[in-house]
Structure 1
């Protein structure tokens, strides 16, 4: 009986320390949008802040793709699906309640886009190192996804990059 009680205390203690998916997403986008518009470089894929919020495999893939010349896999910022962003839109950030998905949670995010408009995203999270981390973002406003997980597209982009840099 004593072991059961101890196990329950340990389990509740562990879950109490893990931020909710909604809080993680709100914290990430509050940080990221500010870094994005101020160009502080804290949103650099190698920064400790980005490693805090983004899954390792996602960071690896983004870095690999962005290192390629003339790649066409990522056409805009992966986390906002925009080319640029305005500081006055940041207060319009909205985060919905998380819903369960096959590999973790999904949070619907609304980014202010000016003139009362919202850019709608689905942000997918999974538990990594005891924290909810972003591993996938889709643009639900335009029913679009940048295919960073398409290994064939990445291989083709690598071949193309090599062909244009070869003498």
Structure 2
């Protein structure tokens, strides 16, 4: 069983590094289906893996490439929302959480297949960027705490609106 979990961790880490997908989309179903881990424990484990991979991935970008005001706004709203999502998670039955997780995966997959428009070409922020950043932080945080998915699944579900940057 330990070898299976280690192999799973290597595969999830490689996919996360390759395509930037959140670990929860891959690790939660694998931990529940292959290893037999309870849903709540699998969601918690996926978040630990996401923290480790995100911390590692941000290091090369610390010298440039991070929009700190946006990151602060999204994080400031997302952290408390994740705590609320975690509390709600504890109240819901596992089958309902798995249905919600599956629905999120389907919606995120369809959204990722849609073509992107280049909305951030000029990099200028529109006046409502802070409202959008906070709303995205709340949505991603809630989904992170509720379903154990962070950046990849919930971020593709909650795309950055074009009104945040000018064209």
Instruction: Say which one has the larger Rg.
Output: 1
Task: Please confirm whether the aligned pair reaches a TM-score higher than 0.5, indicating the same fold.
Answer: no
> Of the two structures, which has the highest relative contact order with CA contacts closer than 8 Å and spacing of 6 or more?
2
TM-score normalised according to structure 1 size: 0.28
- In terms of fraction of residues, the more helix-rich structure is 2
TM-score normalised according to structure 2 size: 0.28
- In terms of fraction of residues, the more strand-rich structure is 1
